[in-house]
Structure 1
Amino acid sequence: MERLCCFKVGYSQSSSSAGKGKSCQGSNKVTYGFSLVKGKASHPMEDYHVAKFAVLKGRELGLFAIFDGHLGDSVPSYLQKHLFANILKEEEFWSHPDRAITKAYDKTDKAILSHSPDLGRGGSTAVTAILIDGTKLWVANVGDSRAVLAKGQQVIQMTVDHEPSTERGSIETRGGFVSNMPGDVPRVNGQLAVSRAFGDKSLKSHLRSDPDIRAQDIDSEAELLILASDGLWKVVNNEEAVDIARKCKDAQTAARQLTTVAVDRDSKDDISCIVVRFRS
């Protein structure tokens, strides 16, 4: 996901990375793999991720996220360090995870904006997934990074793509406008190709940063979860992504294969992907 601008921001981030891991509790181990590949744009890598398991109050949490930055990597880097910590600090996390996630997203965005101009000038999408004790999945997103769940015969999109064309009314109510100029992609005030994002101080009065949230029970039918930035979803649809992941021997191979397919299909954006397998 990109935002048009007339200046560049310098940063350091490796052009690609990959890895894997697994849960430590429960008889059925949950495994994950991730793959991040720098896009063809001239700016350095702007995608960040989180993929790990942690134990809190005797409960095991799987924490997974993709943060797709624009105008630099400062906002996605901040989200990588702080967003999950802010969610887990909310008193309502265990009783009402959805409320905790909403509050933490808001507090995190306000913290980013308070660091302006150095931090809040840029922005980022976010898709986060929290797996609680391997049985309950909570997914939230801001922007167009997406999560897709394969469960039984279903391919379920767990997120909402927040695009200017679909949220035009909200943008205009806030005093902004949607334009396809320059280029052929609808953008907020002709600049930003998503209608919700963290940061983006100069556009914030016209943007939202509240997440869409969805929960799913993870039972014997749940097979895998894919989180990815739009560098994948621009060239691979939900069903294709699930089919590709299913054919791979493990989660890391699946994540690598998905980013490889996106590159082969000439995706020019940064491409980041996490695959979580609920069954070995």
Structure 2
Amino acid sequence: MTAREILHKMKVKAGFSSVPPDTGKGKGKMLKHITHGFNLVKGKASHPMEDYLVSQFKQMDDKELGLFAIFDGHMGHDVANYLQLHLFENILKDPGFWTEPENAIRRAYDKTDGEILEKVPVLGKGGSTAVTAILINGQKLIVANVGDSRAVICKNGEAKQLSVDHDPGTEKREIERRGGFVSNIPGDVPRVDGQLAVARAFGDKSLKLHLSSEPYVDEMKIDDTTEFMILASDGLWKVMSNEEAVDSIKHIKDAQSAAKHLTEAAVTRKSKDDISCIVVRFQ
């Protein structure tokens, strides 16, 4: 059985469509004023689409969770696909999630990375960045990320980045401490061991000794001044600043239309990468 066939069976068992939609929308069942929409656009590369996402609400006992994530694969899409299926599952299964969510998320990121490395014969040697956001009862937002997929919130009309871009140039000392190096060739971006343009990622077995999967985690309260959140892969952020992205959709009340607007704007600005985007509106 091929890796693709195994992943297809895993997706069907997990209740996901075998062909994820390119666009969609939804809203909370308990908190109907919170809406979300997403849109994906394949880039110019000849390989298949490598971005995956999660955008949904989930009921757990008397709580409602909004689960949102962008997974940007590289050297193949299977690792990003695996993350789509299993990362939130591992987070929510952690017994400490409700009492110490930040530590639970860190443990789940580490556990999932270990699973991916164990499944290299099936998933291949590729990797994926990730940005995840968990909204608890519409009141608390917990964002985590590895790599350069990004979460940006609009609060009081201003853009605020909730994630951290894990750039090899910024984390050069840590990469070198692990025994790796950071290339900085003129005309190119800094790369771990001359290969990967992010300092943290899931998978990437050949670089793992020099590459971290430790997430940055941030937590914030949602209040009346919190307008909306954008999660997107670097296909958007390479061509658009946080402020430009926020300003361009302030007037668009439908979350799906806002996500489409952002992906289309990135294409117009000549982004050649895969572009995936989620917009969550709190008002």
CA distance in 1, matches of 2:246, 2:187: 31
Task: Using the TM superposition, name which of 32-41 and 109-118 deviates more.
Answer: 109-118
Aligned pair count? 270
CA distance in 2, matches of 1:20, 1:44: 24
Task: Using the TM superposition, name which of 178-187 and 245-254 deviates more.
Answer: 178-187
The answer on 1:233 being equivalent to 2:237 is yes
Residue in 1 that maps onto 2:149:
145
The answer on 1:180 being equivalent to 2:203 is no
The answer on 1:80 being equivalent to 2:84 is yes
Residue in 1 that maps onto 2:216:
212
The answer on 1:65 being equivalent to 2:55 is no
Residue in 1 that maps onto 2:165:
161
The answer on 1:126 being equivalent to 2:95 is no
22, 39, 42: which one aligns with 1:38 = 42
CA distance in 2, matches of 1:244, 1:205: 41
Percent same amino acid among aligned pairs? 63
Say if 2:157 and 2:227, in contact at 8 Å, map to a contact too: no
Say if 1:182 and 1:190, in contact at 8 Å, map to a contact too: no
Task: Using the TM superposition, name which of 56-65 and 111-120 deviates more.
Answer: 111-120
Deviation at 1:118, TM superposition (A): 3.4
CA distance in 2, matches of 1:183, 1:119: 32
3-state SS in 2 of match to 1:113:
helix
- Runs of 4+ residues deviating >6 angstroms: 9-16
Consecutive unaligned residues of structure 2, counting only runs of 5 or more, are 9-17
Task: Using the TM superposition, name which of 176-185 and 154-163 deviates more.
Answer: 176-185
The answer on 1:222 being equivalent to 2:226 is yes
Which one-letter code corresponds to 2:233 in the other structure? S
The structure where helix makes up a greater share of residues is 2
CA distance in 2, matches of 1:63, 1:10: 25
Residue in 1 that maps onto 2:254:
250
Consecutive unaligned residues of structure 1, counting only runs of 5 or more, are 1-8
CA distance in 2, matches of 1:16, 1:35: 9
Q: How does 1:18-57 map to 2 (within 5 A)?
A: 18-26=23-31, 29-57=33-61
Say if 2:245 and 2:262, in contact at 8 Å, map to a contact too: yes
3-state SS in 2 of match to 1:125:
strand
Calculate the TM-score normalised by the size of structure 1.
0.92
Say if 1:15 and 1:44, in contact at 8 Å, map to a contact too: no
Residue in 1 that maps onto 2:200:
196
Say if 1:226 and 1:275, in contact at 8 Å, map to a contact too: yes
Say if 2:168 and 2:199, in contact at 8 Å, map to a contact too: yes
Residue in 1 that maps onto 2:102:
98
Residue in 2 that maps onto 1:17:
22
Say if 2:25 and 2:37, in contact at 8 Å, map to a contact too: yes
CA distance in 2, matches of 1:174, 1:73: 27
3-state SS in 2 of match to 1:117:
helix
Task: Using the TM superposition, name which of 109-118 and 161-170 deviates more.
Answer: 109-118
